[in-house]
Amino acid sequence: RKADVECQVCVLGAGPGGYTAAFRAADLGQSVVLIERYATLGGVCLNVGCIPSKALLHAARVIDEARQFASHGITFGEPQVDLDKLRSHKEQVVGQLTGGLAGMAKQRKVTVVRGTGRFVSPNEIEVEGEDGKKLVRFDNAIIAAGSQAVKLPGFPWDDARMMDSTDALELAEIPKNLLVVGGGIIGLEMACVYDALGSRVTVVELLDQLMPGADPDLVRPLQQRLSKRYAGIHLKTKVARIEARPEGLLATFEGEKAPEPTLYDRVLVAVGRSPNGGKVDAQKAGVQVTDRGFIPVDRQMRTNVPHIFAIGDLVGNPMLAHKATHEARVAAEVAAGMKSEFVARVIPSVAYTDPEVSWVGLTEADAKKQGIAYGVGKFPHAASGRAIGIGRTEGFTKLIFDEHTHRVLGAGITAPNAGDLIAEVALAIEMGCEAADIGLTIHPHPTLSESVGMAAEVYEGTATDIY
């Protein structure tokens, strides 16, 4: 059968992984096809993930800061929420970015093929779109089909009041009572949005802490703040059943301290994401896929089939956009004949909650588990002039050092804008910085960034009391 399109590099999926790989390969002179089933480029991150959630979280922060300022002498009154306007603001933000991507693809002469692609042989993908089927023949392929929200079975998913993160970002309404199932990053970010907009929020988490994966001390200031605002935060609790009734969704809980069955207007389920590796017929190209749907790769992002690469959420955790884009560049460069490798030492994680919680590299829990001799430098924001000035002293900055070399191994920060602050430590870890390198670096005053320098000084024993 004759191919409809031939190319050197075919990228399957146009999320942060896919579009970055396509653009990099095109910049390296390759002829590139980018296959995407949805109408816009940008994948989960731009359309229904990172970007719309942060646009709404900013609105939440403005509302919260205005409310908080009442105690400092300025009162704005209760916010009037025009949901249609807020929704169109979010859509405008998304549209600006996805539209920009379409322009960049055109500029680079990347051929975008719309439709659902599946491998039919080691060098061919068939794309089923609105205008029929197209066969794409390639020299190299990069699988970047991403992931999707886990839908817990047994819940009444055909009821419109049941939401995954995509539904929650649509902002159909502000429910009076919202149950969030899953206390991870995505669940807590959406909880923050709906709480600020006026919902009574209840969070239920199966494990014994919110945001599993982060050190417990890092999460505590967030949990304390949320506990005062939310209807409930229930740890070590399972949602056993949800029953759709005309008057609401009746949730039944299990666990030692499980609450009584309760009616909610809406339920958001955010219990993780599952990779789409098993949905592209990769086995027809001989590509190995695990039972869970991940595609194993080497440091050059190659699958077991040397001319087929995989990147992004479907190659493994953490499922983060900035990991996908870095892997994407490696795959595109290797496909174009370069000797690149994915050698990042660390990948930062951020929850854009209020306060934000960020961490990078080794956690204290990991260090203990691995028996690593480590020391901690911790700087409480209660000693930061800037934190006092903005009325946000609940957080801290913690750096983790190797006791023998004094090199920084990891960090955690809880504060407004902790996501921005953690980038410095990611660089310090990549550069192999020692505590003295960080402590001797002059940070601008008065900023929360000083807390990174101060944490290093605390570790070294050279810190003064207040900053």
Which residues are known catalytic residues? 445
In whole angstroms, what is the distance from residue 328 CA to residue 332 CA? 6
Q: Binding to ligand FAD by residue 145, rule CB under 6 A? A: yes
- Read off the tokens for 119: 């491998």
Tell which positions 244-283 bind ligand FAD, by CB under 6 A: 276, 280
According to the binding rule CB under 6 A, does residue 180 interact with ligand FAD?
Answer: no
Which tokens is 329 given?
A: 């560049």
For position 348 contacting ligand FAD by CB under 6 A, the verdict is no
Contacting residue, 8, 31, 111, 116, with ligand FAD by CB under 6 A? 116
**Measured from the CB atom, is 18 or 377 closer to ligand FAD?**
18
- Of 7, 11, 17, 453, which lies in the binding site for ligand FAD, with binding defined by CB under 6 A? 17
Q: Which is nearer to ligand FAD, 136 or 218 (CB)?
A: 136
CA dist., res. 62 & res. 56, Å (int) = 10
Task: Examine residue 146 and tell whether it contacts ligand FAD (CB under 6 A).
Answer: yes
Q: Which is nearer to ligand FAD, 155 or 352 (CB)?
A: 352
Task: Quote the least distance from Cβ 278 to ligand FAD, whole Å.
Answer: 11
Q: Of 144, 282, 297, 428, which lies in the binding site for ligand FAD, with binding defined by CB under 6 A?
A: 144
Binding of residue 50 to ligand FAD (CB under 6 A): yes
Determine if 43 is a binding residue for ligand FAD (CB under 6 A). yes
Q: How far apart are CA 378 and CA 397, in angstroms?
A: 6
Task: Report the residue count for the chain.
Answer: 467
Contact with ligand FAD (CB under 6 A) among 11, 15, 34, 183 = 15
- The residue assigned the tokens 């923050």 is 192
CA distance 32 to 294: 24
Nearest residue (CB) to ligand FAD, 141 versus 387: 141
414 binds ligand FAD (CB under 6 A): no
Nearest Cα neighbor of 352 from 211, 150, 224, 460 is 211
* Residue 261 per-residue DSSP state: P
Q: Residue 34, interface with ligand FAD (CB under 6 A)?
A: no
Is residue 142 a contact residue for ligand FAD (CB under 6 A)? no
Cβ proximity of 26 and 40 under 8 Å: no
The pair of three-digit structure tokens given for residue 457, joined into one six-digit string: 């000084």
62-95 in b/e form (b: 16+ CB < 10 A) is ebbeeeeeeeeeeeeeeeeeeeeebbebbeebbe
Cα(224)–Cα(220) distance, integer angstroms: 6
| Residues that bind ligand FAD in the complex, under the rule CB under 6 A | 12-18, 35-38, 43-45, 49-50, 53, 116-117, 144-147, 165, 186, 276, 280, 312-313, 319-322, 324, 352
